[in-house]
Chain A
């Protein structure tokens, strides 16, 4: 089956620093990649939709200047949390879509001190 990886799997950073999370589709090319955020004991909330070579589409309430998304190729999308603060601490999950099915990564746990 299709495999999606995320790196790093967890990261701890100081408040004010920026953190980059990578999402890769390992054995297929993804037409679209999605970024989700999940707080403890809650469901997944879509943050943005990312298409290769074009600007990401952000959901209402998600700051595009804070959550920078770069989709450089059909197998790689990155999410950079800029000037991270403790309230940005969360579980970030990406998915890669073939156009019919989304395959989810294992998630990245971000803790901002």
Chain B
């Protein structure tokens, strides 16, 4: 079973600070997705990265896929209270293009 470990598990920061969330595995994934989930709701897709070394930017969020397609990072610049939520990475298994393995999650709290 492929596992995705996220770090840190929890993060509490002040508005305006920068942060990075890491998603690591010993297995290779064909693609990796990042989601944000708010309490009582389903996860919402933020981005999909496919190519090793790929970097994608979404406003203040920067996503990177590791060269070996085993790890990924999410960097948020100048965090805002609206960024508060549970951030989940999810890897697509290489031999099953539909199945996702979710990471352990990072709970972010941004205080005004």
- A-side residues, CB < 8 A to B, are 4, 6, 31-32, 34, 36, 41-46, 49, 60, 91, 93, 95, 97, 99-102, 104-107, 109
- On whether the beta carbons of B42 and A46 are closer than 8 Å, the reply is no
If over half of A's interface residues share one DSSP class (helix, strand or loop), that class is named, otherwise mixed; here it is strand
Task: Say if the beta carbon of B82 comes within 8 Å of chain A.
Answer: no
Given A43-B88, A46-B100, answer yes or no on A106-B42 (Cβ-Cβ < 8 Å).
yes
Task: Say if the beta carbon of B102 comes within 8 Å of chain A.
Answer: yes
Complex CA distance for A54 and B42, rounded to whole angstroms: 26
- On whether the beta carbons of A102 and B42 are closer than 8 Å, the reply is no
Which residues of B lie under 8 Å from residue A46 when comparing CB positions?
99-102
B interface residues, how many (CB within 8 angstroms): 20
Which residues of A lie under 8 Å from residue B98 when comparing CB positions?
31-32, 34, 49, 97, 99, 102
Which residues of B lie under 8 Å from residue A41 when comparing CB positions?
107
A-B contact pairs, 12 of them (CB 8 A): A4-B42, A34-B99, A44-B43, A44-B88, A46-B101, A91-B40, A101-B48, A102-B100, A104-B35, A104-B43, A104-B45, A105-B42
Which residues of A lie under 8 Å from residue B45 when comparing CB positions?
101, 104
Which residues of A lie under 8 Å from residue B97 when comparing CB positions?
99-100
